C-alpha cells in the first residue's frame, strides 16, 4: 500500500509541475498581436519551429528566460523576468530572437543583463484539473494611449499697408476647418482639416480689404492641436460577474460574452 501511495503522490506532483512549468510566449507583432509561439524548454535554434527572427513582443510566465540574437545562445543575450513585454524594440531585439532558454533559480544575473522591467502578468492557466465555469461579461472598455499633439505649418499673409480683416480671418479659418473635417477620412481627415483652415483663413482675411492695398508678404507659422490617439488599444478593461460578485480584469485582447473562471472567480484559459 505504501508503495502504491507513494507512486500516486509522485504522479500527482508530476501533473502539477507539468501544468505550472516555466513558459514564455512569443508574438509576431507588438502588443501581443499576430501569430504566437510557446516555449517550455531550452531551444537552441528557433528556425526549427519557424519562429526565428520573428518575435516582436513576449509574455513570460514563471521563472526567468534568456533570449539571444544568434542560435545556440550566441551574440547579444537579454534576461527576461516574468511579465508582459509589449515591444522588444525597446531592448533592441525586435525580430532578432534566435534562441531561448530558462534561467536557473540559483543563477546570479548582473543587473545590466536584465531587460527593462515588464508590465505585470497574470498566470491564468488551469491548475490541477480544477473545475471551470463561464462568467458573464458585464462591460468592456478599450483603453488607448493619451491624445497626441500634431503640428503643421501655415503660410500667414503679412500686409505692408492697409488693414487686415482679423474677424474675417478667424471666421474663415473656423469654417474651413469644419468643412475639411467633414469631407476627410482617416489620415486624410487631418490633411483636409489643415487645408481647410488654410484656405478659409486666406479667404476670410481678404474679405473687406481695400482693393488698393499693396501686395502682401507671407511667412510660415507653426500651428498645433491635440487629437485623439490613433493607436491600437493598450488593453481592455473588463468587468464580469460570477455568483453575484463583480470582478475586474485587464486583457490584451477583447473578450467574448463570457470569461472562463475557476470556483473562486479567477480567470482561467
Question: What pLDDT digit, counting tens, does each position of 235-247 carry?
Answer: 788 999 999 999 9
| Predicted local confidence at residue 147, as pLDDT | 66
Long-range contacts of the stretch 176-181 (C-beta < 8 A, 24+): 176/200, 176/201, 176/203
- Classify residue 180: in a domain, yes or no: yes
- Residue 113 — φ and ψ, nearest 5°? -85, -15
- Classify residue 141: in a domain, yes or no: no
Predicted TM-score (pTM) above 0.75: no
Question: How big is the chain, counted in residues?
Answer: 269
More confident residue, 151 or 250: 250
Could you tell me the residue range of the domain that residue 208 belongs to? 154-217
**Does 102 score more than 70 pLDDT?**
yes
Check whether residue 92 and residue 37 sit in a common domain: yes
- Classify residue 4: in a domain, yes or no: no
- Classify residue 3: in a domain, yes or no: no
Q: How confident is the model at residue 126 (pLDDT cuts 50, 70, 90)?
A: confident
Average pLDDT on 92-118 reads 93
Check whether residue 159 and residue 101 sit in a common domain: no
pLDDT in tens, 183-228: 223 333 333 333 333 333 333 344 444 445 556 677 777 777 766 6
| Predicted local confidence at residue 228, as pLDDT | 63
| Predicted local confidence at residue 7, as pLDDT | 41
| Predicted local confidence at residue 120, as pLDDT | 84
**Does 153 score more than 90 pLDDT?**
no
**Does 163 score more than 60 pLDDT?**
no
Average pLDDT on 79-91 reads 92
The total of structural domains in the chain comes to 2
**Does 166 score more than 80 pLDDT?**
no
Check whether residue 185 and residue 106 sit in a common domain: no
Check whether residue 27 and residue 94 sit in a common domain: yes
**Mean of the per-residue pLDDT values of the chain:** 73
Listed in order, strand segments (DSSP E) in 144-215 are 148-159
**Considering 175, 196, 217, which residue would you say is the last residue of a domain?**
217
Check whether residue 159 and residue 106 sit in a common domain: no
Check whether residue 106 and residue 161 sit in a common domain: no
- Classify residue 201: in a domain, yes or no: yes
Strand partners, 237: 141, 250
Asked if residues 63 and 107 have their Cβ atoms less than 8 Å apart, the reply is: no
Q: Domain with 57 in it: what CATH number?
A: 2.60.20.10
**Considering 170, 198, 217, which residue would you say is the last residue of a domain?**
217
**Alpha carbon distances (Å) from 85 to 24, 34, 82, 233:** 11, 15, 9, 15
- Classify residue 8: in a domain, yes or no: no
- Classify residue 139: in a domain, yes or no: no
pLDDT above 90 covers a percentage of the chain that reads: 41
- Classify residue 75: in a domain, yes or no: yes
**Does 29 score more than 50 pLDDT?**
yes
Check whether residue 31 and residue 83 sit in a common domain: yes
More confident residue, 62 or 12: 62
pLDDT above 70 covers a percentage of the chain that reads: 63
- Of the candidates 61, 45, 43, the one whose C-alpha atom is nearest the C-alpha of residue 53 is 45
More confident residue, 151 or 103: 103
**Considering 202, 217, 232, which residue would you say is the last residue of a domain?**
217
Amino acid at each position: 500500500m505504501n508503495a502504491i501511495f507513494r507512486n500516486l503522490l509522485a504522479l500527482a506532483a508530476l501533473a502539477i509541475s507539468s501544468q505550472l512549468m516555466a513558459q514564455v510566449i512569443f508574438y509576431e507583432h507588438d502588443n501581443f498581436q499576430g501569430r504566437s509561439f510557446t516555449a517550455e524548454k531550452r531551444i537552441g535554434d528557433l528556425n526549427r519551429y519557424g519562429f526565428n527572427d520573428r518575435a516582436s513582443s513576449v509574455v513570460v510566465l514563471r521563472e526567468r528566460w534568456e533570449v539571444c540574437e544568434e542560435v545556440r545562445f550566441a551574440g547579444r543575450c537579454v534576461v527576461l523576468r516574468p511579465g508582459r513585454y509589449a515591444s522588444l524594440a525597446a531592448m533592441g531585439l525586435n525580430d532578432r530572437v534566435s534562441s531561448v532558454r530558462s534561467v536557473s533559480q540559483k543563477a546570479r544575473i548582473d543587473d545590466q543583463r536584465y531587460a527593462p522591467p515588464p508590465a505585470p502578468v497574470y498566470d491564468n492557466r488551469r491548475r490541477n484539473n480544477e473545475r471551470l465555469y463561464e462568467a458573464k461579461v458585464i462591460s468592456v472598455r478599450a483603453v488607448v494611449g493619451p491624445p497626441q499633439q500634431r503640428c503643421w505649418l501655415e503660410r500667414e499673409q503679412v500686409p505692408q499697408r492697409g488693414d487686415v480683416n482679423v474677424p474675417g480671418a478667424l471666421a474663415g479659418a473656423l469654417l474651413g476647418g469644419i468643412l475639411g473635417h467633414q469631407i476627410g477620412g482617416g489620415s486624410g481627415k487631418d490633411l483636409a482639416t489643415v487645408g481647410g483652415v488654410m484656405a478659409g483663413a486666406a479667404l476670410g482675411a481678404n474679405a473687406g480689404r481695400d482693393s488698393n492695398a499693396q501686395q502682401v508678404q507671407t511667412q510660415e507659422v507653426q500651428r498645433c492641436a491635440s487629437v485623439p490617439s490613433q493607436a491600437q488599444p493598450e488593453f481592455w478593461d473588463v468587468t464580469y460577474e460570477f455568483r453575484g460578485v463583480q470582478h475586474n480584469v485587464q486583457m490584451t485582447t477583447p473578450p467574448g460574452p463570457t470569461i472562463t473562471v475557476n470556483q473562486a472567480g479567477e480567470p482561467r484559459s
